[in-house]
Structure 1
Amino acid sequence: MAETGGARCLHASLDVLASDVHSRLEFHKSAYTDYAGINNALHCVMEEKANLELQQNAVTEKDKLITEKDKLIAELKTRNEEQAAEIESLKEELEARESSHVLLALQGSGLQSSQSGRNKRTRESDGNGEVADEHGVMDNPDQDDQGLSTELENAKKELSDIHSKLIKGFMDISATSTRNIAIKNIGELSYKPFQQACLKKLPPEEASKKASEFYNFWQKQLLNPEWNPSKTVMEKGNPEEGISKEIDVHDADLLKLRAEWGEDVYKAVANCLVEIEKCGRLTDRTIIPVIWHQKADRTATRSESVEYMCSQVRRLRTRRNISTDWNAIMVFIVFDACEKWQCKLVGVSLRS
């Protein structure tokens, strides 16, 4: 009986121990599960923190860029205002110089007239022989006219050479179309309207080839003297002398072009024709480079061209901090030459 009671006691102890071990195992299993959940949550929090830091850095960088952009815009605005004021000052200075040169030319003409009158009175006081010589000169006015004509032609030739050099200079510096004054080729079509028109009607892979063919066709058409969509215009009140030619914007080919490809392409071709007509090139149809004022949409004057080149050289000299700039010297030489021959033309015209 004693052995049986001891066995029962041992069995009960083992059951208690097994229950305790099982409880401890369940506790540790639950603790490990909680640890894994906390660890995953911690990783998520760390990732979220990293993302928030990246977003914060991006916002900070964006704010910094916006601040720098605003600062740059303010600097550019200030610089543009300074350049506008400088241009106005240069215009006033140029107008003053032109006015002074014209005045000097007029004064020179008056001095020559006074000297001619004094010479006449001197010859009259010297006797009949001198008077006869004067009459001999007066009897041959063609010689004086021929001399004035030659001088005028030489002055015009000099101005033409200077203008050609200005065009060459602008062709060297006009790398972009964003300049206020740049070279424009009269008679050359703009490619952009043709490209946009083809992109609206065709897939991109076909539009490029079609636009090139389309553009080349109308460029050749513009340079073909046999295609002349012009009409005769008679001014009111002067039926005999008021007859002129102008571009017929309602030409059948132009209207067909507008109907098939739109207003932009039509305007590109029509405006190019008008520019060719204004330059008097409807007969030979050659592409002519001219110095063009972009803002005013017209041919730039010689004074505007020289003024613009001076401002560009001055800006280059300021930017590079160059004390002696030979380009600036050459520009001012051209400027002085232009003024000199303009005054010479005025003087020759007044004398003639």
Structure 2
Amino acid sequence: MEESYLGLKHSEGDANFKKQRELEDLTKELKEKANEVDYREDLYRDLMVVERKKNDELQEAHKALIDGFEHFMSHNRATIGIKRMGELDEKPFRDVCLQKLPKAELDVNSVQLCSLWQEQIKNSEWHPFKIRSADGNLHVQEINENDEKLINLKHEWGEKVYDAVTRALLEVNEYNASGRYAVSELWNFKEERKASLREAIEYILKQLKTHKRRRS
């Protein structure tokens, strides 16, 4: 009887010891996991700091290139240059005024008409856009063809002026929706798209080499 009691106590001791070991192992594993989580969080924060720094440097380089191009391109239209996003192209306004107005009134009226619609584009209270879903989740803003001002514009001044205004509206909505004024962007005029920093830098280097050869 006593031997049986001692055996039971021994078994209980083994079981308790085993549970204790399991608890210690689990505690150790949890501490290791916690340390790993802390390490990953620290690494993530460090990477975010590096990413923000790189983005800031890219923005500074982007601004410096735009400033340089605005000076350089003021006398020269080329493949890579500066486009004022949200700024109206005056040519469609001049063309339509040439068709509709006496030649003596052409310059003044085409400039006034273009300026009038540039002010409309700046007006933050006018929002001629509609939102549609793309790929289920992504929401895209596009021109609302049923906007009364745009309908009247197309009817009175034609398709080309309408296209110029809606293009400028989409640009300003993408680049400066809160301010609604035109902003400068590096632009590939040959391919009608935004130019990369690499393209802009390579273009500048190419122009410098050409200029150097001409002076030699």
What range describes the TM-score normalised by the shorter chain of this pair? Answer: 0.7 to 0.9
SS of residue in 2 equivalent to 1:286: coil
Superposed CA offset, 1:60-98 (max 9, x none): xxxxxxxxxxxxxxxxxxxxxxxxxxxxxxxxxxxxxxx
Superposed CA offset, 1:88-142 (max 9, x none): xxxxxxxxxxxxxxxxxxxxxxxxxxxxxxxxxxxxxxxxxxx99x947535232
Aligned to 2:179: 284
Aligned-partner Cα distance in 1 for 2:170–2:37: 49
Q: What is the 5 A alignment of 1:19-98?
A: none
- The count of corresponding residues between Structure 1 and Structure 2 is 186
Aligned to 2:98: 199
Match of 1:148 among 32, 37, 47: 47
CA contact 2:123–2:180 (8 Å) conserved in 1: yes
CA contact 1:249–1:270 (8 Å) conserved in 2: no
Q: What is the 5 A alignment of 1:1-352?
A: 135=32, 137-141=35-39, 142-176=41-75, 178-235=77-134, 238=136, 241-279=137-175, 281-321=176-216
Aligned-partner Cα distance in 1 for 2:204–2:185: 15
Runs of 4+ in structure 1 over 6 Å off: none
Offset, 1:320: 0.5
Offset, 1:312: 0.4
Aligned CA distance change for structure 1 residues 254 and 320 (closer, same or farther; 3 Å): same
CA contact 2:153–2:162 (8 Å) conserved in 1: yes
Offset, 1:176: 4.4
Aligned-partner Cα distance in 1 for 2:172–2:134: 22
Aligned-partner Cα distance in 2 for 1:242–1:171: 34
Aligned CA distance change for structure 1 residues 177 and 227 (closer, same or farther; 3 Å): farther
Offset, 1:234: 3.2
Offset, 1:287: 1.2
CA contact 2:129–2:143 (8 Å) conserved in 1: yes
Aligned-partner Cα distance in 1 for 2:170–2:49: 34
Offset, 1:205: 1.7
C-alpha RMSD of matched pairs (Å): 2.3
Offset, 1:307: 0.9
SS of residue in 2 equivalent to 1:174: helix
Aligned-partner Cα distance in 1 for 2:96–2:207: 37
Aligned to 1:39: none
CA contact 1:246–1:277 (8 Å) conserved in 2: no
Determine which structure has more spread, i.e. the larger CA radius of gyration.
1
Normalised by the length of structure 2, the TM-score is 0.78
Aligned CA distance change for structure 1 residues 175 and 144 (closer, same or farther; 3 Å): same
Aligned CA distance change for structure 1 residues 139 and 250 (closer, same or farther; 3 Å): closer
Offset, 1:177: 5.9
Aligned-partner Cα distance in 1 for 2:75–2:146: 34
Aligned CA distance change for structure 1 residues 216 and 151 (closer, same or farther; 3 Å): same
Ranges in structure 2 where 5+ consecutive residues have no aligned partner: 1-27
